[in-house]
Amino acid sequence: MPLVTTTEMFKKAYDGGYAVGAFNVNNMEIVQGITEAAGELKSPVILQVSKGARAYANHTYLVKMVEAAVAENPEIPIALHLDHGDSFELCKSCIDGGFTSVMIDMSSKPFEENIAITKQVVEYAHDHGAVVEAELGTLAGVEDEVVVEAGNESYTKPEEVEEFVSRTGCDSLAIAIGTSHGAYKFTPEQCTRNEEGILVPPPLRFDVLDEVVKKLPGFPIVLHGSSSVPQEFVKMVNQYGGNMPDAIGIPEEQLRKAAQSAVCKINIDSDIRLAMTAVIRQYMTEHPDHFDPRQYLKPARQAVKDMVSRKIVNVLGSDNKI
Ligand code: G3H
Ligand code: 13P
Ligand code: ZN
């Protein structure tokens, strides 16, 4: 099948109590690792491209690689989405260039400005067969050039969501309930410690999510910043010459619970970066004489596939949902 929008995916996910994974793509190995996992597990998938990815790999290369993945995996629904679009012009350029979905992220702007720009993107997108994700509330962490220190995030206000969605006409809404971008989601001061002294992050604000769902029944909700930063990979990075002290993510069981609710799209990028880096570090250490990039990119691609498979089965519940 050709690239699809997220409309049908989200409807099935909402009704079926699972979520679709949205994984960031930056190069061929990442595209291949994600789509091989989704293909084997018969899972719908969203491939998303940030402004930074577009600057790194070039729009045309990314679209062509995604088109190749679609051709190689004709059975599974694949959407191509712009992650954190920061202007109407960027969204328009992606829609004109073959994306089926865009995010306009005006979450750092005042409410009325967020509405005005989101509405403009929605009108253009809907006229051109694409769908739009918008955002209310701000996450902590790093996304493109924007850095929000942990503790300075602000949760979505449930009392704003109904007016925002009806005035903008957006197709899905990203909300802030305590997730955060990057591999350092919480400071040690924000966490508690378990009996073994391991940091335990603060729980997600499911009460905020529940209030949002009450105001927007049946409407697809999106969670950004949903990497779990599995500690075995942090350990591997550190064991093989890296230095990622206090890296911490969102526990997988909390995301699983979110996926069973109105959350239809869960964004994961950092865990893919972490898995690739851990495996490449190990490979380089164990094979100091190797210099053919295929030698270390092959296990890195496998690590992407394994990580995405783990997410599809353990977190999203989207296997066998095509
Ligand atoms: O939310 C941000 C995503 O992880 C993309 O990151 O802007 O470094 O490509 P990037
Ligand atoms: P992570 O940094 O938690 O992987 O989040 C990615 C994301 O939200 C992309 O938009
Ligand atoms: Zn994000």
Per-residue pLDDT tens for 79-125? Answer: 999 999 999 999 999 999 999 999 999 999 999 999 999 999 999 99
Which listed ligand is nearest to 271 at the C-alpha?
2
Range from 64-78, 139-153, 235-249 carrying the lowest mean pLDDT:
139-153
Report the separation in Å between the CA atom of 287 and the middle of ligand 3, taken as the mean of its atom positions.
Answer: 35
pLDDT number for residue 78: 98
The ligand 2 site (C-beta within 6 Å) comprises 24, 83-84, 181-182, 224-227, 267-271
Instruction: Give distance in angstroms: CA of 51 to centre of ligand 1.
Output: 8
Asked if the model's pLDDT at residue 189 lies above 60, the reply is yes
3-class SS at 36? helix
| CA dist list (Å): 94 to 97, 117, 129, 222, 292 | 5, 16, 12, 20, 34
* Ligand 1 and 82: CB distance under 6 A: no
Nearest CA to ligand 1 atom 7: 144
Q: Are 172 and 6 in contact (CB under 8 A)?
A: yes
The pLDDT-based confidence of 141 (bands split at 50, 70, 90) is low
16: CA distance to ligand 3 center in Å? Answer: 24
Q: 84: Cβ below 6 Å to ligand 1?
A: yes
> Which of ligand 1's atoms lies nearest the C-alpha of 53?
9
Instruction: With cut-offs at 50, 70 and 90, classify the pLDDT of residue 146.
Output: low
Domain count, the chain: 1
Mean pLDDT (whole number) for 65-70: 98
pLDDT category at 140 given cuts 50, 70, 90 is confident
pLDDT of residue 149: 65
pLDDT at 145 over 80: no
CA–centroid distance, residue 288 to ligand 3 (Å)? 36
The pLDDT score that the predictor gives to residue 198 is 78
155 C-beta neighbours (distance < 10 Å), count = 18
Q: Taking the CA atoms of the chain, what radius of gyration do you get in angstroms?
A: 19
Single-letter amino acid code for the residue at 130: A
pLDDT of residue 150: 61
Identify whether 322 is part of a domain. no
User: Is ligand 1 within 6 A of the CB of residue 269?
Assistant: yes
- pLDDT one-digit tens code per residue, 210-248: 999 999 999 999 999 999 999 999 999 999 999 999 899
For residue 89, count CB atoms less than 10 angstroms from its CB and return exposed for 0-12, middle for 13-18, buried for 19 or more.
exposed
DSSP 190: G
Residue closest by Cα to atom 1 of ligand 2? 225
Kindly state the tokens that stand for 272. 């893919």
Atom of ligand 1 nearest to the CA of 182: 4
CATH number of the domain at 79, please. 3.20.20.70
Task: Indicate whether 1 pLDDT > 90.
Answer: no
Q: What is the domain range of residue 98?
A: 7-316
Give mean pLDDT, residues 286-308: 98
CA 73–ligand 3 middle distance (angstroms): 26
The answer to whether residue 2 sits within a structural domain is no
Specify the higher pLDDT residue, 190 or 230. 230
Confidence of residue 143 (pLDDT cuts 50, 70, 90): low
Which of 103, 144, 185, 270 is the best mutation target for the ligand 1 pocket, counting ligand atoms within 8 Å of the beta carbon and taking the most? 144
Choice among 23-37, 133-147, 209-223, 255-269 with the minimum mean pLDDT: 133-147
Determine, yes or no, domain membership for 101.
yes
From residue 264, alpha-carbon distances to 41, 107, 223, 273, 313 in Å are 18, 19, 8, 23, 15
Residue 32 falls within a domain, yes or no?
yes
Write the Ramachandran bin of 271: left for phi over 0, alpha for psi from -120 to 50, otherwise beta.
Answer: alpha
3-class DSSP state for residue 136?
A: strand
**Does residue 144 register a pLDDT over 60?**
no
Round the average pLDDT of the chain to a whole number and report it.
95
Average pLDDT over residues 66-79: 98
CA-to-CA distance for 40 and 34, rounded, in angstroms?
Answer: 10
Give the side-chain half-sphere CA count within 13 A for 300. Answer: 21
Percent of the chain with pLDDT over 70: 96
- Whether 143 is in the pocket of ligand 1, judged by its Cβ within 6 Å, is yes
Give the pLDDT confidence score for residue 197 in this predicted structure: 77
Q: Is the pLDDT of residue 152 over 80?
A: no
Q: Which atom of ligand 2 lies closest to the CA of 224?
A: 8
What's the distance, CA 273 to chain centroid? 12
Tokens representing residue 2 in the block: 């050709």
**CB of 144 sitting under 6 A from ligand 1:** yes
Which residues are tagged catalytic? 83
Angle 28-40/59-72 helices, nearest 10 degrees? 30
Residue 321 is assigned to a structural domain of this protein: no
